[in-house]
Amino acid sequence: MDGIEFRWLESERLDQLDPIYQALGWVPLNRNLSRALVAFEGGLPVGIAALACLPHVDLWVDVDHRGSGLAADLTTQLVEFLYEVNLPEAYVIARTPHVERLAEEHGMERLTFPVYYKRGR
């Protein structure tokens, strides 16, 4: 494309995308876990393809310890860690009703729009 320059941005350079993300109502990219391919025209961003590595949370408790509160304790400590390291988003696949309840108790919302998944090639 004539006049379009593609550059990879990472770390602090991702800050220049914050106004676009804010205008879109999106959570800003985490500087440690993201990288973005940005199309520039005349020095201004005109397109972004971002790889935002967001935490995916798994939760498992041995059958002999279920009902003991261990899952709730693990979840609470993990959520505190996510806040401590300033991770803006996390995803949970609620494979059981109990995990679904824990996610809701911690203010997570069920997604109601298309989410796509790909594993491997």
Dump pLDDT digits (tens) for 70-82.
999 999 999 999 8
Which residues form the domain of 94?
A: 56-105
In order of 10, 82, 88, 95, the CA distances from 98 in angstroms are 38, 21, 24, 8
Asked if the structure places residue 18 within a domain, the reply is: yes
pLDDT of residue 53: 85
Q: Are 90 and 55 in contact (CB under 8 A)?
A: yes
Residue 13 domain-assigned?
A: yes
pLDDT at residue 117 greater than cutoff 80: no
**Number of domains within the chain:** 2
In a domain, 62, yes or no: yes
